[in-house]
Structure 1
Amino acid sequence: MGSPVSPIPEYVVAGLWGLVSGSGLLLGAIVADAFFGKLSHRMVAAVMGFGGGVLFAVIATELVVRPDAAGADLWPTVALPAGAAVFSSINWYLASRGAKNRKRCGECVEQPNEAEHHGSGSAIAVGSVLDGIPEALVIGMSVAGGGAISLAVIAGFFLANVPQGLSSTSGMKQAGRSRRYVYTIWIGIPLLIGVAAAVGNFLLGSASAQEPAILLFAAGAVLAMLAEAMIPEAFENAPPFIGLITVLGFLAAYLIAQH
């Protein structure tokens, strides 16, 4: 008899799922590159609003601790603001370096080019990595202890990443950044999300007792990212019914979470 097949290590599974969810960024970049100059701000804003609604649903249905969990009354008051504070602090620093408008499509609010703000290209790249870290943390923890990854988590992050890649790429090209720069960003970041998910699982996978607090920390960071990076693009000079579009994004992710 042959030797039994060894199961795939948990951290590898986490890394692969991180790569899948992060690939939405690359898909959005490909669409933006193919249709550059043909996508109006209102079209991009509508897609961004839908993606924002998706992320709101992921937070509400997958990340926030259930009320009957032990200690649930204490975790949100600490972990949620802590996650938001860490994200906002790093984002504030990167914004001062030129990454503030990294998710803008460029029509209403332009991204800075290198001549206007030296080092902004690197800051935008680092800021884009920052946006993906909470996602990687959630995925890494979701498969900890042999748990099955939630379809809503993967589908939600993937669907929310598409408009982020779409809008940010449009703004990068509007600012005169090269195709090489654009694709280096959006090929590299999904890979980094995968690596971060694997590392997060490897380092934190045994901390099952703290999993709700870790997920709430990530939820706070995702909420802060929504408020500071995604929602401004969706709601500035917004298309008609942008509120409805956002709710439809929420509904789509909510329905996925129910199956």
Structure 2
Amino acid sequence: MLEALLWGAIASSSLVLGAWLATLRRWSDAVVGMVLAFGAGALIAGVSFELAEAGVTEGGPVAVGVGLAAGALAYFFADRAVEQRSGRGGGGASGVPLAVGALLDGVPEQAVLGIGLATGDGVSLALLVAVFVSNLPESVGSSADMLGDGRSRRFVLLLWIGVAAVCTLAAVAGRAIAEVASPTLTGVVDGFAAGALLVMLVDAMISEARAKGGQVAGLATVVGFAAAAALSLLA
């Protein structure tokens, strides 16, 4: 359990680090856009190599498909609830939706890390690094948006500390339930994370990266994808 707690804390620590960096100074829209674009590319690689592909191998396409639908719907309705509560309409700021997305995809991602430890496969270094690297720009971009919308530094830091704590506990929970986790359930968990990520990427992260980073956001996305994909393939 302590091992799962340690790796879970390492993976989620970049969420708090990103929020802290965002509070140190005001980052330009161009920088935030590039950071978001790089993170989006890394997340796309994570979905492809560490979640969807691994989920199909472990639990089969049906399990991953069920998880994809559940994760996509969970993020969609959670985002709509946040939108209604905050009064955000249309494009709006992407800060809070990105935080919601980080929670919805972070929990199953961390659970997968914990399950891997329990089954003797060890922690996936590629997934660990991809989660850490992609969490950082996601947190920086989200925090910068929330600060720009008038949220206090205290609110932003506490929000991300809370998200990181929940994600860390998810790794411990994954380790605990691994005794009864079937390959099918693992495939569903992988699919859930992938579905939530994909909806969040299109609804918030990629659109915000393009709006703030301009035309070069696409290039930064490719760099992020290549970096994360290389880690997956090397592992």
* TM category, shorter: 0.7 to 0.9
1:60 aligned partner, one-letter code:
S
Alignment of 1:77-88 (within 5 A): 77-88=65-76
CA apart distance, 1:131: 5.1
The CA RMSD measured in Å over matched residues stands at 2.9
Instruction: Report the equivalent of 2:117.
Output: 143
In the alignment, the residues of structure 2 paired with residue 136 and residue 247 of structure 1 have an alpha-carbon distance, to the nearest angstrom, of 25
Instruction: Report the equivalent of 1:221.
Output: 196
Instruction: Report the equivalent of 1:54.
Output: 42
Instruction: Report the equivalent of 2:15.
Output: 25
- Between Structure 1 and Structure 2, which shows a larger proportion of helix residues? 2
Deviates more, 1:62-71 or 1:188-197: 62-71
Deviates more, 1:20-29 or 1:52-61: 20-29
Alignment of 1:1-259 (within 5 A): 9=1, 12-36=2-26, 39-65=27-53, 69=57, 72-98=60-86, 109-110=92-93, 129-130=103-104, 132-210=106-184, 211-259=186-234
CA apart distance, 1:80: 1.5
1:24 aligned partner, one-letter code:
S
Scaled by the length of structure 1, what TM-score is found?
0.77
In the alignment, the residues of structure 2 paired with residue 207 and residue 88 of structure 1 have an alpha-carbon distance, to the nearest angstrom, of 27
Relative to 1, partners in 2 of residues 1:216 and 1:41: Cα closer, same or farther, differing over 3 Å?
Answer: same
Is 1:144–1:206's contact at 8 Å kept on the other side of the alignment?
no
Is 1:15–1:193's contact at 8 Å kept on the other side of the alignment?
no
In the alignment, the residues of structure 1 paired with residue 87 and residue 172 of structure 2 have an alpha-carbon distance, to the nearest angstrom, of 27
In the alignment, the residues of structure 1 paired with residue 139 and residue 183 of structure 2 have an alpha-carbon distance, to the nearest angstrom, of 35
Deviations 1:169-206 (A, max 9, x none): 22222233222222212223212211122123323552
Q: Which has the larger radius of gyration?
A: 1
Secondary structure of 1:86's counterpart equals helix
In the alignment, the residues of structure 1 paired with residue 99 and residue 87 of structure 2 have an alpha-carbon distance, to the nearest angstrom, of 8
CA apart distance, 1:149: 1.1
- Give aligned pairs, total: 232
Moved over 6 A (4+): 123-127
CA apart distance, 1:24: 1.0
Structure 2 spans left out of the alignment, 5+ residues: none
CA apart distance, 1:111: 7.1
